[in-house]
Structure 1
């Protein structure tokens, strides 16, 4: 039976952090995630996978000792050929953070940085990619890329992932998509102002004020209290108790 893939879609998110136990406690309490350990082989620590119901949506990695970067969430894009996508990113001025690697029972993975230093993951899974549909509370729903050069980023990402350019409702910003339908959007593109170029991911919440207050009570820092996106929804950015940034999103509809 052939594997069903959705090239160009973000299919996995992964937190790399110094304190996996603290992260699990925080996200379990905030989003109601249930973590199940995935065995990684003899001598390797298990890989905790966050579940919403029976659906696995993301994992947690322990940051290597002495690694010179802060905790962060990493998004993985499904690709048909990991090695070719890495080569395209490097040709476009990017760099390889983790070379293409086969992970048993998972697939072929790589991590790259674009010309400005924004980091994104690539994956060709051995199993079916997640089925699309409207994300429910507690599920990941969207990505953003903040960059130093909008025009160059458009050229890079349409080349590397085959994305097309569309517009946010109201024409407020560029959106990368896998097709022309409303359901085909993947990520929005913005200018990095006062921050390093980076990718961000978002989780759906029922009520933004409630989730924001709960996150703060659980030890998170509120980085951006509120962004109103007309005809789309409302956003808060937080820094979790281990230092990683993530967005909370309340849809308008």
Structure 2
């Protein structure tokens, strides 16, 4: 996330169907959903209600009654990385999934129906980073943005941007805006001229135990206070709080190791 990015959302409710390619939902699969609900409920003020069960026990996180994210339970025999996964909107998940395969990505789940909510697929890009594709029916995705406790930005941490940026451009129709700085490998993904996500090439500084992965930024009212609360709840601080042109940010992890970022946006 660089100074030109800012929050991808706008204040208030989002009741319209998302433009194809837009990050429209974030989801987390964990081993202990009850403890994870307690953690994020205390950190962000979320409450939970049951969601589609096609991938096992699953709950939607609500903020003041609005759906903002999902948390599900991993099957006990699956040893997968615990990670927040962004879902990108599609008007035809079957066609998008085929494009993923043709462009060198892989499909791990689906396409399949999630009850009356919609249709989904979960895949990975050629570098191995996992993402989702969502074709909305009754469930349009994140229903409110721009307020504390909501997703504000999604950023892919990878070795280098060039090849993988072309993948996302072809699959989702993004416009690519490379950073002009010679010492930063960063590409902003835009739709209709609007920044919606980013790709950050970090070379050998990418965590060896994680590999390329997406990071979700969650808006908070106070980054320092949220950081203290996170530690008290059993979370982990992965880097110092930093003041950037777009706001105050800290990279953290929840008790099961899912990485994410706390962001107090500059207004």
After alignment, is 120-129 or 48-57 more displaced?
120-129
| CA deviation vs aligned residue, 1:205-234 (integer Å, no higher than 9, x gap) | 01111001110011001012223332x112
User: Gapped runs of 5+ residues in structure 1?
Assistant: none
Residues 45 and 150 (structure 1 numbering): CA distance in 2 closer, same or farther, change over 3 Å? closer
**2: CA distance between counterparts of 1:34 and 1:245?**
21
For normalisation by structure 1, the TM-score amounts to 0.89
**Compared with structure 1, are the counterparts of its residues 146 and 35 closer, same or farther at alpha carbon in structure 2 (3 Å cutoff)?**
same
Structure 1 partner of 2:213: 198
Q: 1:6 aligns with which of 4, 14, 19?
A: 19
Matched, 1:225 2:240: yes
Post-superposition Cα deviations, 1:53-112, rounded to whole Å, max 9, x if no partner, equal: 121011111011121213211111101111121121212211111120012111110011
Contact 1:63 1:71 in 2 (8 A): no
Q: SS of 1:157's equivalent?
A: helix
| 1:80–1:226 CA distance, 2 compared to 1 (3 A) | same
User: Are 2:189 and 1:179 equivalent residues in the alignment?
Assistant: no
Is the 2:20–2:89 Cα contact (8 Å) retained in structure 1?
yes
TM-score computed with the length of structure 2 as normaliser = 0.84
The number of aligned residues is: 245
Q: Unaligned 5+ residue runs, structure 2?
A: 1-15
